[in-house]
């Protein structure tokens, strides 16, 4: 479980996040949603420790990330898997080397052990026999799967995904969402997904936090999101023609 309390952050005097608090439980897909530029990525970066907020606290199962010493931070980092926007694979490394990278960086496992682990996670994300391919030789959806394999190759407790569906068609997006949700349930990890994809919101929104201009305006799940009676959220949800039509049937 991750708890955040009163997270605030500004850049050059402009407030980007204002007093955001919330709890992200283990074993479910937690979503941070909202329009472009509303502070979702900055909030995720504050949670992961890539940005230090001006105020607030981030607790990883009771452990303060912000107050942790070097060793504790290193331990917590080993427990974190991150799926970056666009997959962020190293173009010059093959798939096996890409997935092995966190093990090379953060563990002293033997080569055989690492290879076993890499093959296990590649098989878990439905990719076998592509170890020696280069990122340029595989599709966008496969790249995301490799990114997920790399995120879970360590024995993680926390999984963070920044716009996991960016650049994918709706069908592939759905498969990636389902994979993230299955892995969250299977590994019983605390997962936080940043997205503005409505299919993700409806498909895997087991817990949703809605941000608008740096403030948390609503919290709920995919069952309650369509009937929130929250004006800004409704504008966000029912932005497309299709959703406007759907709204009339509710």
Ligand X SMILES: Nc1ncnc2c1ncn2[C@@H]1O[C@H](COP(=O)(O)OP(=O)(O)OP(=O)(O)O)[C@@H](O)[C@H]1O
Q: Is 52 among the residues that bind ligand X (CB under 6 A)?
A: no
Q: Which residue has the tokens 């331990």?
A: 75
Q: Is-contact 144 96, C-beta < 8 A?
A: no
Distances (CA, A) of 125 to 60, 80, 121, 148: 26, 18, 6, 7
* Residue from 34, 102, 135, 164 in contact with ligand X (CB under 6 A): 34
Cα(213)–Cα(5) distance, rounded to whole angstroms?
A: 18
Interface with ligand X by CB under 6 A: which range of 31-39, 74-82, 130-138, 224-232? Answer: 31-39
Give the binding range for ligand X (CB under 6 A) out of 34-42, 73-81, 94-102, 151-159. Answer: 34-42
CA gap 166, 143 in Å, rounded? 12
* Beta carbon of residue 67, minimum distance to ligand X (angstroms, whole number): 23
Cβ at position 16, least distance to ligand X in Å: 4
Please identify which residue in 29, 41, 181, 191 interacts with ligand X, judged by CB under 6 A.
Answer: 41
Residue in 32, 40, 42 with CA at minimum distance from that of residue 210 = 32
Q: Which is nearer to ligand X, 10 or 119 (CB)?
A: 10
**Least CB distance from residue 53 to ligand X, whole Å?**
12
If one asks whether residue 149 binds ligand X (CB under 6 A), the answer comes out as no
| DSSP tag of 165 | T
CB 81 within 8 A of CB 117: no
Q: Using CB under 6 A, pick the residue from 4, 22, 29, 39 that binds ligand X.
A: 39
Binding to ligand X by residue 36, rule CB under 6 A? yes
Q: Which is nearer to ligand X, 36 or 129 (CB)?
A: 36
Whole-number Cα distances in Å, 190 to 61, 75, 81, 83:
10, 16, 10, 14
Q: Please state, as a whole number, how many other Cβ atoms lie within 10 Å of the Cβ of residue 166.
A: 15
For the stretch 190-199, what's the b/e string if a residue is b when 16 or more beta carbons lie within 10 angstroms of its beta carbon? bbbbbbbbbe
Residue list 211-240, contact with ligand X (CB under 6 A): none
Q: Which is nearer to ligand X, 13 or 170 (CB)?
A: 13
> Of the candidates 29, 30, 38, 142, which one interacts with ligand X according to CB under 6 A?
38
- As measured in angstroms, the least distance from the Cβ of 215 to ligand X is 12
- Site for ligand X contains 40 (CB under 6 A): yes
Q: How many residues bind ligand X (CB under 6 A)?
A: 11
Q: Hey, what are 124's tokens? A: 């878990």
- Which of 6, 25, 37, 120 contacts ligand X by CB under 6 A? 37
Instruction: Point out which residues bind ligand X (CB under 6 A).
Output: 11, 16, 34, 36-42, 196
């Amino acid at each position: 479980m991750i708890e955040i309390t009163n997270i605030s952050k500004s850049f050059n005097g402009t407030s980007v996040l204002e007093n955001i608090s919330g709890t992200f439980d283990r074993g479910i897909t937690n979503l941070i949603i909202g329009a472009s530029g509303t502070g979702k990525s900055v909030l995720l970066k504050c949670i992961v420790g890539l940005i230090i907020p001006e105020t607030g606290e981030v607790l990883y199962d009771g452990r303060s990330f912000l107050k942790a010493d070097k060793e504790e931070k290193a331990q917590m980092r080993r427990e974190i898997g991150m799926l970056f926007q666009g997959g962020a694979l190293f173009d010059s490394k093959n798939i096996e080397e890409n997935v092995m990278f966190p093990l090379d960086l953060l563990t002293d496992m033997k080569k055989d052990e690492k290879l076993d682990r890499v093959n296990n996670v590649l098989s878990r994300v439905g990719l076998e026999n592509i170890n020696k391919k280069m990122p340029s030789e595989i599709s966008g959806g496969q790249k995301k799967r490799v990114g997920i394999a790399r995120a879970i190759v360590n024995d993680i407790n926390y999984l963070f995904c920044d716009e996991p569906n960016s650049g994918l068609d709706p069908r592939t997006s759905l498969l990636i969402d389902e994979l993230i949700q299955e892995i969250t349930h299977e590994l019983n990890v605390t997962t936080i997904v940043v997205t503005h994809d409505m299919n993700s919101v409806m498909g895997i929104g087991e817990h949703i936090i809605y941000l608008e201009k740096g403030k948390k305006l609503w919290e709920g799940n995919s069952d309650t999101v369509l009937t929130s009676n929250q004006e800004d959220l409704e504008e966000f949800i029912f932005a497309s023609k299709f959703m406007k039509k759907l709204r009339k049937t509710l």
